[in-house]
Amino acid sequence: MSSIRIEGLTRRFGDVTAVDGVSLDVADGEFLVLLGPSGCGKSTLLRMIAGLTPPTGGRILLDDRDITAAAPRERDLAMVFQSYALYPHLTVARNIGFPLRARRRPDVHAKVAEVAAVLGLEELLDRRPRALSGGQRQRVALGRALVRDPGAFLLDEPLSNLDATLRTATRAELTDLHRRLRSTFVYVTHDQVEAMTMATRIAVLNGGRLEQVGTPQEVYDAPASTFVAGFIGAPAIGLLPAELRSVDGSLRAVGAGVDLPLGGGEGGRDVLVGVRPEHLRIGSGDAELRGTVRLVENLGGEEVAHIEVGSGRVALRGPRPLRLAAGDAVSLTCDPDRIHLFSATSGRRLVRAPEPARSAVAV
Ligand code: ATP
């Protein structure tokens, strides 16, 4: 198994900088998810690691070996595509064994049988891809990667062609497979639920740049920017404009419908504040938001109310029934520790004393 180091990796297509100076370490055995919206450069980054797209700058190291200019087959990496890319005229067994036959390996039958057992494909080995469901095809594509015993697996949105139920089931299978193989996975998706549930660490990309790298919990609990805050969580953190003011010696964020305590620090700065939907409660307190309910969504066990506060919006999530209706005026409160604070100019997270100011800007 292998570790991957990416140093200042860049790829331009004419005027478009698809990947812009990304540096990232993927540890041996890690399940790293590259997460971001369409066009953020995640596929280009993965294809550069695979050797399918040459970088215009930077380096890629596999276990400290510089592979930046190496051909794909010299990289000891296996890629799984969204489209599966199976050979339609070959059986499942032959599809899985293809990479070994291409390398003239003698132990093809034994290896195919082993991989089929790992993926539960034993009964399907004689079928052609057209006689398989989407989920089964996806497993065959995975089998073809697995059979090579690569140093790392590169997966590009492998679940996006599956329906919602199958996607959830296959997500759990992939997590289980990763645990059993203890192999290195780099996994591209725009689906934050996939990232949260499967990743050991998430790398969030925006416009070709890395916004934040951290465990799912770190990225959720302390989003490094308004972009990450708005991308992770369903619904995500709603952001409200406010100004930092020193009131009776303590710092508060004050704006239209917003009055939140922040502890120590200096005032006079424009910020964006937000609270996750599950951390807001109906009621009044030292931390208070006031607004108007615009929409209430029923999720079955829970409800989500979308509430207009000043020029922004927040969401409140809680057990059914919330007893709110569109048009209601409502006061919301929260634990002050749950307030997220960002610079209105840079969008970067502002850390309040006494928290350690790591990648964030101190107030
Ligand atoms: P998606 O989720 O939609 O696949 P992505 O995050 O994987 O998006 P990329 O496919 O890496 O994004 O594309 C990043 C940017 O680079 C986009 O603006 C895209 O249009 C551009 N791009 C990618 N490949 C090429 C190419 N071969 N030629 C020109 N532009 C490209």
The yes-or-no verdict on residue 352 having pLDDT over 70 is no
Indicate the SS3 state at residue 234: coil
Distance 56 CA to ligand 1 centre (A): 15
Distance 38 CA to ligand 1 centre (A): 8
Mean pLDDT of 90-100: 93
pLDDT in tens, 138-168: 889 989 998 988 999 999 998 887 888 888 8
Instruction: Report the nearest atom of ligand 1 relative to the CA of 14.
Output: 29
- Residue of the nearest CA to atom 5 in ligand 1? 39
Q: Is the minimum distance from the CB of 206 to ligand 1 under 6 angstroms?
A: no
* Lowest-confidence segment of 140-154, 261-275, 337-351 by average pLDDT: 261-275
Which residue carries 């917003």 as its tokens? Answer: 258
Mean pLDDT of 27-47: 96
User: What is the secondary structure of 290-320 as a DSSP string?
Assistant: EEEEEEEEE-SSEEEEEEEETTEEEEEEEES
- Residue of the nearest CA to atom 25 in ligand 1? 13
Which domains occur in the chain, in start order?
A: 4-224 (3.40.50.300), 231-362 (2.40.50.140)
Instruction: Report the nearest atom of ligand 1 relative to the CA of 190.
Output: 2
- Residue of the nearest CA to atom 16 in ligand 1? 18
Q: Where are the beta strands (DSSP E) in 147-301?
A: 152-156, 184-189, 201-206, 209-214, 240-247, 250-255, 258-263, 269-274, 281-282, 288-298
pTM of the predicted protein model: 0.91
Strands 31-35 and 184-189: parallel
Q: Is the minimum distance from the CB of 165 to ligand 1 under 6 angstroms?
A: no
Distance 17 CA to ligand 1 centre (A): 9
* Lowest-confidence segment of 131-140, 151-160, 259-268 by average pLDDT: 259-268
Mean pLDDT of 105-125: 88
Instruction: Report the nearest atom of ligand 1 relative to the CA of 43.
Output: 7
Measure the CA–CA gap between 212 and 271, rounded to whole angstroms.
20
Q: Is the minimum distance from the CB of 134 to ligand 1 under 6 angstroms?
A: no
- Residue of the nearest CA to atom 1 in ligand 1? 38
Cα end-to-end span (Å), the chain: 43
Q: Is the minimum distance from the CB of 44 to ligand 1 under 6 angstroms?
A: yes
Pocket test for ligand 1, best of 15, 40, 44 (most atoms within 8 A of CB): 44
The DSSP output letter for 225 is: B
Q: Is the minimum distance from the CB of 41 to ligand 1 under 6 angstroms?
A: yes
Measure the CA–CA gap between 82 and 61, rounded to whole angstroms.
25
The yes-or-no verdict on residue 46 having pLDDT over 90 is yes
Q: Is the minimum distance from the CB of 42 to ligand 1 under 6 angstroms?
A: yes
Q: Six-digit token pair at 277?
A: 């939907």
Distances (CA, A) of 79 to 44, 86, 99, 201, 261: 13, 13, 12, 19, 49
At residue 353, the pLDDT reads: 54
Q: Is the minimum distance from the CB of 207 to ligand 1 under 6 angstroms?
A: no
The phi and psi torsions of 163 (rounded to 5 degrees) equal -75, 170
Distance 3 CA to ligand 1 centre (A): 25
Distance 39 CA to ligand 1 centre (A): 5
Q: Is the minimum distance from the CB of 46 to ligand 1 under 6 angstroms?
A: no
Distance 42 CA to ligand 1 centre (A): 8
- Residue of the nearest CA to atom 11 in ligand 1? 41
pLDDT in tens, 63-89: 989 999 999 989 989 998 877 789 999
Which comes out higher in pLDDT, residue 354 or 244? 244
Distance 317 CA to ligand 1 centre (A): 35
Instruction: Report the nearest atom of ligand 1 relative to the CA of 45.
Output: 11
